[in-house]
Each structure stands twice: as structure tokens, then as C-alpha cells.
Structure 1
Amino acid sequence: MRILHISNTFARVSVYKELINGLSEFGFKNSVFAPVKNEEETRYDISNVKSNEIVVKEIINYFDKIFFRRKCSKIYNSIIDHINIKNIDHIHAHTLYSDGYPAYKLYRKYGIPYTITIRSSDINAYSLLRKDLIFIRNKIINNASNIIFTSPSQKNKYLNNINLRLRKEVIKKYHIIPNGISNTFFSNYNPKVSNNLNKISILYIGRFLKLKNIPNLIKAIDIVRNKYEVRLTIVGGGGNDQHLIKKMINKRNNYVTLLDYVKDENVLINLYRSHDIFAMVSKPETFGLVYIEALSQGLPIIYTAGEGVDGYFDHTYVGEKVKNPKNVNEIANKIINLIVEFNNDIVKKSIIEAEKFKWNNIIKEYRNIYK
């Protein structure tokens, strides 16, 4: 069976490489079409992707944000020109709008069934800002064979913002399939619990965006330090909140440490293992693979209710969720709660829950819906 993957972000997001490699190991043949915005993305290293065919085309420009239909026509026509459509058995459009509309047009012309993934960009951007695309959205959803959400929170958020008729259509077709993390994170780990709960190390990894609410996390640490000797390590950079965050860190350099981005997985694993708790209170949050990476290393998590991975751990205590990430006192109280509850049992549960996000388990779910 050959799957055509349409993805505007293939060259920028490592999840797709893991997905396609996993599908290949299960016997699927894969063709990838990736429309990109610049020449740098066309130089994407495909040597580690086990795909039968990868086409990366620089056909997207700035004005395509406005002229959606023109953009999708360019993608559709380029697929026809560069992919042998007659060999395709199923199409996976990795976003609802920009990937989904070309998939719908291919379905209309060639009768090839398609699956769509509804992502945060579809929910937080297109659905809110492009009301003129409602008719197109409805056609894409009504004709899709399957609809995938990467988390329960995304599914709930989307269903709560569409009309009853469309909601019934989505409910008939949806599957919740998470993103996975590299198998490296599941290798050779012997978890150790901190022997001194008065000295707790908390970790944040990510970009310095306002939606990440890092200043509020730092202020919450200030409050927690009235009871516990807590240290915070912030790993990352870039983004529209960088200046403020660096300024705040400089004033607290005796208990807040700033590190540059870490790309090497083994270095990253050692970083997780040298801390006790992972905290990121984003709103909105797409999925947040860093939460899963942290859990895989035995770190319970502080996360935001209704965002990212919320909904995956309703029946197992692996951390605390914050309802309002703008509320510094609430964040501080959740950190204190987690410190009080911190023990060997929660470390083991964190590792067990992370097993859900192994690619082998995820690929089996995709195999069932493609066929």
C-alpha cells in the first residue's frame, strides 16, 4: 500500500521523518510532497528518511497567506506534475486546510481516499481568522475517510467551536493518535529519586514566546523558594519574550540558569535526568513533545489544562495541571503540590505513561486506519 503524505511543514518538523520511517518498517510505501517557502527548505536532508519518493518544491510565498485558494491550486498542480497519482492508494493530509484542500481535490478527480490531521494551526489560526473558508472546510471534513487529532484537548477544543452538524461528522471519523518521541529516550534508564525534597531542580525547554508564560513560571519559582530550595533551568531562546526573560534571569542568576538550545538527544537526556520536575505552562500549546521526553526520563510535569497533552493522563497522576497560566500563585501552588507528592511511585508512573508515545505503538494505529 502506498501513502501520499502532503505536508507544508515536512522540512521543518522531525515528527514526519519518524512517522514515515515507522510506516516503512511496517511495509508501507510512502510518497511525500512538501511545498515549502524558501530555498533553504528544499535542501532538507532526506538521507535519513525511508521514503520511496520525496518531492520538496519551493512554490509557497508570503502572499499565499492571503490567497489561500491560489496556494492550494499551486500545490495540487505540482502534485499532479511530480507524483504518479495512479500508484497512490491513500492520501494523508497533515493539516486540515493547506494540506487538506489539495487532498480533497485529488479525491474528487481520482477517487483516492484521504485522512486529515487537524492541528493547532487549523484550530487557533484558520478556524478563527478565515471564516471565508468554512465552505471549503466542510467539504474537506465531509469527504475525509478519517480525521486525526494529536491529543484529547485538541479534539475537545475543535468540537466545541463547530456547529452541531459538522460535529456529528467529525465524531463519526475521528481518532486520537499522538506524536511520538525518539526511541533513544527509552534506552538504558535507571531512575533515581531526589533524596532531599528541599532541593528540587525544575526544568523548562522551549522557545521564549509570550504564549509560553515563562516570566510567570519564574515568578512562581520566587514564591516556591519561600518554602523549598528550588532551582530552575531554562533551556532555549528566540521568540518575542526573549529580552524580558533574559533580564529576569540575570536578576536571579543564583537560582535560575539559562542554557542554549540542545539538539543532541543524548545530551538532552542527561539534562532531563539531572532534574526532578519539568514545567511548561503554555497557552495555547500545540502538543509539546518535551512533556513526553520529560516523562520518559521519570520527570513529572507541570502543564496547562485544556492544552497540549492534557487528557492523556486523566487516570494516572504524573503531575499537576494549571488552569490559568497567567496566575502566578496558582503555578506556585501546583509546583508545591507536586513537590509534596514527589516520590518513587510518581517517577515510575511517568515512565510507564511515556510508553504510549513510542513510535511502534503509534504506527500500529496508523496502520489500522489507512487500510
Structure 2
Amino acid sequence: MPSPRKLLPYVLAELQARESWKSRDYEAAKTQAARAAAQALEADDRSAWWNMVYLQAECLRDEGTIPECMELARRLTEDRLSHEFPSLAARAYTLLAISQQGLGRLPEAVTAATIAAEAIAGDSEYVYLHVEAQRALIAALAESRLLDDAWTQSLLLESLLTELVDEDTAGKAYWVIGNVAFLSGRLHEGGHYHDLAAERLSPSRDVDLWARFNRASAVMRLEAELADPATLRCIERAELATEVVGGSRRDLLEMSFARAHWHYLTGDMPTAISILGPLCAESGILAAQTAAEATFLLGKSLLAQGEKPDAIQRFEDAAALFDDAAASERSAQVRAFAASVSAPVQPPVHTPDAGRP
């Protein structure tokens, strides 16, 4: 390896940035990547500049600073290099889709992920980028509850998982396919694909990824109302792994939501409410769709406790959040549920006994 003194300044800064990113020191990685990007521009190395801006956006994504991540990703999609090289376009549009989904901009996320997938579809050299783009597309479709489309794209993703794809990449792909299966009522397939994911993902390789997978698997099982030992194991593994690596505030809130949902399904409404109340007060940290689901669950928990006026208000808040996430179908479902709860109980109609005078 060349001596650091012989490396160009921006190359050295790039190496430092990547090392910081690997160790999850995102603040240092952002600073070093920004320095490397500026120095690369001075050296007229546009490719190095692109990669360092992309790394800054990845750091922002990983630390949960999603609006800034989205703006950098959008900047990269508009750069001339992204127009010249399909692989760069796919990377930029995939990151843009992920950040848009994180902000609840689901139709935009679907569009961006579709552009990413189409940029490199059919080129075996870019199968990894195609897998990443498909994952982003499927996640956005699933969160939009466009489940038929999400399942079609899931089957396409599965066809990409040949022996050329490493275990981590395959594990992440099976993870998202399992999510769609659960959401679309294919509970057996959901468990099957999540089992395939668990076989390929390893806490010894990436404990943070292991935490996120178990949290997501728990959420899918909970949405399918599977309050079984397998679901509880997912929650406990995710909590333990999150404690080990230290998650972002958003990670911790999502973990709390999963635990609250478990208590709701097992009938422990006071505990569910005690978790969901503070969680919903910080809902701005969450994606709009997740905040909406948490608020809806709080409303249902309050209703089960007989606190109907507070529950109705939470249903209205949840419907508005679903509107913000452009999840119109889910919003309509919540409003219909609220209307059924609000409807006055009709007194029984007494028909006079015809045998009486």
C-alpha cells in the first residue's frame, strides 16, 4: 500500500472518511468526506467528488438525518455523471428513494426506485445495484399498500438471487420479500422468507443489521397479529442487538413501537398506552407512515380502555398523518374505523305483539 505521504490529499481524506463510516463515526465521516469532495473538485476529479458526496449522503441516512440525505441524493441524480453512467444513476436514485420513503413521500419514492431499477436492469455486471434498487422499490410499494405490485416486484427480486449474490445481499432481499408476504396475508411465505433471511444474516458480521432485521420481522409479524413466541423472540433479539450497538433515536422509537404493539395484542393496554403516549409525542422523528400507525394503535388502545373521546382524536390525527404520507387507502380505512366507533348506538326497535289488543 502506498505511503500516506505519497497519496493525493483527497484520496487520503477519502480513505479516512470510509474508515470512519465503517466504524459508525458518522460525524467524522461526513467532515472527512466533505473535505475530500472539495479537494477532488480542486483536482478536477469529478468521479471522486461524486463518490464523496454520496458517502456524505449515506452518513446522513445512517444517522437518521433524512431531509439532508434526500437533498444530497437529489443533487447527485442531477449531476452529469449520473446521466453518463447508469451505475451511478442507479445508486443515486436508490438512495433518493430510500430517503423519500423515510420522509413519507411514497409516490416519489416509487418513481425514484423505478428509475434506479430500470437504469441497470438486464446487466449482470450490476446485479447488486439491481437488487438494491428492487429492495427500495418494493419497500416503497409495500408501505404505500400497493401489495399486488410489491409482490410482483418481489418475485422479480427473487429471480436475481443467484449464486453470484453474497449471503448478506441475499438476506436483505429475502427480508423485504418476507415483509411483502406478511403484508399481503401470505403468512406462511412470510415466515419462510424471513427464515431464509435469518439464515443468511449474521450478528457476528453485522450486529446493527441483525437488530434492524429482527425489529422489522417483529413489526411484520405484529401487523399480521401473530402474538406468538417467534414474534417475541424477534422483539427480544432486536432489543438486545440495539442495546449493544446503540441505535439512533428513530431506531429506539421504532423498537418501542414494536414492544407496544406486542402489549396491545396480548391485551395489556395500560402498558401499551404508557409506551405509545411518549412515542407519539416524538412522532416527528419517525417516517410519516410509521407515526400514523403508532398514533392509530394508541387510539385503539385508548378505545379498549374505554377512553373514547381521546381515542377518536387519535384516529383523526392518524388519518391526517396517513394523508401526509400519501397513503390514501390507509387513511380511508382509519376514517371508516373512526366513523364506526363514533356512530351512536341505535336503541332496539320493539315490535308490538300482534296477539295483543
Which structure is higher in helix share?
2
Range of TM-score over shorter length: under 0.3
Kindly indicate which of the two structures has a greater share of residues assigned to strand: 1
| TM-score when normalising by structure 2 | 0.26
